[in-house]
């Protein structure tokens, strides 16, 4: 084959490769512009989640507000502002007040200590309780309510993947937890639901709202479930809190002495800057 023939062959190959690359680019752009939709409604990866682990919406690494959530692939609305989290879950109080929330209890060792510190500083909070713990410690639920704190359903056994289950399974779980709470305190309102791990999905939000509960997220997370120590918990909460903050902490699910110790430092600071109140028993509209 002569030089001229070789040159033509090379030119043809270059043109074919250019056409293929152009087609691949166009196809890639079309896939990005119109992503495939999923029917699961899942908004967060929950693989390998442990008890107390926060998944969706991710804990802010420095305890500050975690920012706006992205839209889910199934087309349901996601966050438009810090007042509106994944699938309509609440991430602020909607006012200048700051709300402290405590997850995973009640616990016979740490919940009484948390209550004692809150009582010392005349602060009311919201306790997101796990059904099986409620069943085992109804006296602590009565103590929480007697001190003027509000209650939040946190599922029966802290099932991070509950939102991926069928609506009937979700409904049965939430109703079972509500019943355990009402067995302990028959007249106490249950206005809130917090999904374990923050792993919100459209089905779990829909069922919670159907049962009259507002989905409750947060915007300040010191990751105290990892037991980083009282000094770090204190720094992250006091630095991250602002008007309208919902602060996530834990009174159960592991060694929570660091959280209890941190409260002795957190409360003097926060009460000097904000009004701290339990979330209202009629939810936030």
Q: Assess whether 103 carries a catalytic annotation.
A: yes
Nearest to 98, CA basis, from 220, 213, 188: 220
User: Which phi-psi region, left, alpha or beta, contains residue 87 (left: φ > 0; alpha: ψ -120 to 50)?
Assistant: left
Is the distance from CB of 221 to CB of 60 less than 8 angstroms? Answer: yes
Q: How many CB atoms lie within 10 A of CB 112?
A: 15
Instruction: Count the alpha carbons within 13 Å of 224 in the hemisphere toward its beta carbon.
Output: 30
First to last CA, the chain: 80
Catalytic residue among 84, 159, 250, 251: 250
Nearest to 73, CA basis, from 35, 112, 21: 35
Within 8 A by CB and 6+ apart from 164, the residues are 40, 42, 46, 199, 201
Catalytic residue among 103, 107, 224, 251: 103
Please give the Cα distance from 215 to 205 (Å, whole number): 6
Q: How many CB atoms lie within 10 A of CB 268?
A: 11
What are the counts of helices (DSSP H) followed by strands (DSSP E) for the chain?
8, 6
Q: Assess whether 158 carries a catalytic annotation.
A: no
Please give the Cα distance from 90 to 88 (Å, whole number): 6
Q: Which active-site residues does the annotation give?
A: 103, 250
């Amino acid at each position: 084959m002569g030089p001229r023939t070789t040159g033509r062959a090379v030119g043809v190959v270059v043109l074919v490769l250019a056409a293929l690359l152009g087609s691949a680019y166009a196809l890639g752009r079309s896939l990005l512009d119109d992503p495939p939709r999923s029917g699961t409604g899942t908004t967060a990866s929950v693989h390998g989640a442990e008890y107390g682990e926060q998944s969706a919406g991710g804990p802010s690494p420095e305890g500050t507000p975690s920012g706006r959530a992205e839209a889910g692939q199934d087309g349901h609305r996601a966050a438009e502002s810090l007042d509106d989290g994944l699938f309509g879950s609440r991430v602020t109080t909607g006012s200048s007040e700051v709300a402290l929330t405590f997850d995973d209890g009640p616990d016979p060792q740490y919940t009484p200590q948390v209550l004692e510190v809150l009582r010392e500083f005349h602060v009311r909070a919201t306790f997101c309780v796990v059904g099986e713990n409620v069943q085992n410690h109804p006296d602590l639920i009565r103590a929480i309510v007697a001190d003027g704190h509000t209650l939040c359903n946190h599922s029966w056994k802290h099932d991070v993947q509950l939102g991926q289950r069928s609506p009937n399974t979700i409904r049965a779980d939430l109703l079972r937890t509500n019943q355990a709470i009402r067995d302990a305190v028959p007249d106490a309102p249950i206005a809130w639901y917090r999904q374990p791990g923050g792993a919100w999905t459209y089905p779990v939000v829909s069922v919670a709202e159907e049962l009259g509960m507002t989905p409750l997220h947060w915007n300040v997370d010191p990751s105290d479930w990892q037991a980083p120590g009282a000094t770090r918990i204190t720094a992250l909460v006091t630095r991250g809190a602002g008007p309208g903050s919902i602060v996530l902490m834990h009174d159960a699910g592991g060694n929570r002495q660091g959280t209890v110790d941190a409260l002795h430092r957190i409360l003097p600071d926060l009460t000097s800057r904000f009004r701290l109140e339990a979330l209202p028993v009629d939810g936030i509209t």
